[in-house]
Amino acid sequence: MVDVLAAPQQMKADRAMRTLTGISVAHWVSHFHLFVLPMLFPFLKVQLGVGYIELGFALTVFAVVSGLTQAPIGYLVDHVGARKILLIGLTLGGCALIGLGLHLSYPVLIVSAALLGLANSVYHPADYAILSAHMDEARMGRAFSIHTFAGFLGGAVAPAIMATLVAGIGGLGALIVAGAVGPVVALFLVGLGIPDAGAHKSRSRGEKTPQASVITPALVVLTIFFMLLSLSSAGIGNFGVVALMGGYGVSFSTANVALTAFLGASAAGVLAGGYLADRTRRHGQVAAACFAVNAAIVLVIALFSLPSVLLTLAMGLAGFLGGVIAPSRDMLVRNAAPPGAAGRAFGIVSTGFNLGGIVSPLLFGWIMDQHMPHWVFGASVVFMVLTVLLALVTERKPQAAGYQAETASPHA
């Protein structure tokens, strides 16, 4: 009798594990593809005969397209189906890189960057819609953390993979192989039997889906929150090394070790944050507390020239705390999403990341051009403080617009 009762639970757990595995692999691909073009800049510069400004413009095109299409893709996720949109995104991103490898030219590079931006806009709305619908409610924070960690891992291994491919088969071959990863993973997800999600699923089961406005005050605040998160970390991630070298007399190797500690600890913090997110409903307070301490640590880095060991420890702790809030951040969005609109909700708030990605290179580049390297960390502190305030605002009515465990789908 016990075995008969346990069998359905085991099957449900197995389906959830397959779903989490597949979605995490897809997120790995998204971050891996983010770094393919930047890692090939030296090769592309020589082959195309262009400068870094022209190559940087390709990344700007990527960011703009991705930012403009996040919300519309979220709408498609909810109305067409998350699984179908995710498979299209994986295939489109892969074909964009394959096409560039087969027909290398600067116009094709720009088109490829635009298609990669469109493909990139798929992952957050589709991934989170599927996870929200099919993960165990009691482990939702950990599911989000594993998904986020997989993305971090994709970016972390991209430089080594691309360097190996270029050394082995050349730049064009590296583009083609890196692109082929997308369609291959799409086929893997089909074979794995990834489930679908979206409002259309509720309609197919005869359930009534409440018609609520997606652009709620809570989601507007969270979009700004995501932008501030991006701005608070982008300056350190992209300009931290040159700021430490230019303003604090830190050696190149020490600055890189400190940045590595920041990035590596961020990934570890994401996993730890998943457990924390599953043990509280006060996700805004978790985010505010972590970022308040983070702001204090980064302020110390901004004001004082720390010894190498202390600098590395401070950067590592700052990165860890920044990672811890990621699952709570995602839970805030999930709780604020109207029923049947998880795709649109995550698509809207993820636009904040893209806005931060567009603004931060210009802002922190200007700071460095003004010979104010200390303000790379100082400006990050300002954005962290604003993030703390917004996190507390989102906590004031945490259940105003969202769906909670009591109203989650039977699969959640």
Q: Does the pLDDT at position 49 exceed 70?
A: yes
Residue pLDDT, tens place only, 214-245? 678 888 888 999 899 989 888 888 788 888 98
Average pLDDT of the residues of the chain? 84
Q: What kind of architecture, by CATH, is found in domain 217-407?
A: Up-down Bundle (1.20)
Are 253 and 118 spatial neighbours (Cβ–Cβ below 8 Å)? no
Which position has the token pair 């951040």?
329
Are 222 and 331 spatial neighbours (Cβ–Cβ below 8 Å)? no
Candidate ranges 49-58, 88-97, 359-368, 402-411; pick with highest mean pLDDT: 88-97
Which position has the token pair 């088969």?
169
**For the chain, what are the domain ranges?**
2-204, 217-407
**2-204 and 217-407: identical CATH topology:** yes
Q: What angle do helix axes 308-336 and 140-192 make, rounded to 10 degrees? A: 70
- Higher-pLDDT residue of 146, 1: 146
Average confidence (pLDDT) over 119-138 = 88
Report pLDDT for 90.
97
Which band of pLDDT confidence, cut at 50, 70 and 90, is reported for residue 107?
very high
Report pLDDT for 405.
37
Are 50 and 108 spatial neighbours (Cβ–Cβ below 8 Å)? no
Percent of the chain with pLDDT over 90: 34
Tokens linked to 258: 């400190």
Which band of pLDDT confidence, cut at 50, 70 and 90, is reported for residue 402?
very low
Question: CA-to-CA distance for 229 and 100, rounded, in angstroms?
Answer: 32
Candidate ranges 58-62, 87-91, 285-289, 400-404; pick with highest mean pLDDT: 87-91
Tokens linked to 284: 């805004």
Q: Does the pLDDT at position 404 exceed 80?
A: no
Average confidence (pLDDT) over 172-193 = 95
Q: Which CATH number fits domain 2-204: 1.20.1250.20, 3.40.50.150, 2.160.20.70, 3.40.50.970?
A: 1.20.1250.20
Question: CA-to-CA distance for 122 and 101, rounded, in angstroms?
Answer: 23
Question: CA-to-CA distance for 149 and 178, rounded, in angstroms?
Answer: 20
Q: What is the pTM of this model?
A: 0.77
CA distances (Å), origin 404, targets 10, 28, 206, 409, 412? 24, 28, 21, 10, 10
DSSP 293-349: HHHHHHHHHHHS---HHHHHHHHHHHHHHHHHHHHHHHHHHHHHSPTT-HHHHHHHH
Report pLDDT for 221.
87
Q: Does the pLDDT at position 198 exceed 90?
A: no
Please enumerate in sequence order all residues whose Cβ is within 8 A of that of 97, keeping only pairs 6 or more positions apart, or say none: 33, 36, 112, 116, 175, 176, 178, 179, 182
AA identity, residue 30: S
Helix boundaries (H) for 137-282? 140-192, 199-204, 217-248, 252-277
Report pLDDT for 137.
78
Helices (H) and strands (E) in the chain, counts: 13, 0
Q: Does the pLDDT at position 295 exceed 60?
A: yes
Which band of pLDDT confidence, cut at 50, 70 and 90, is reported for residue 3?
low
Q: Does the pLDDT at position 102 exceed 70?
A: yes
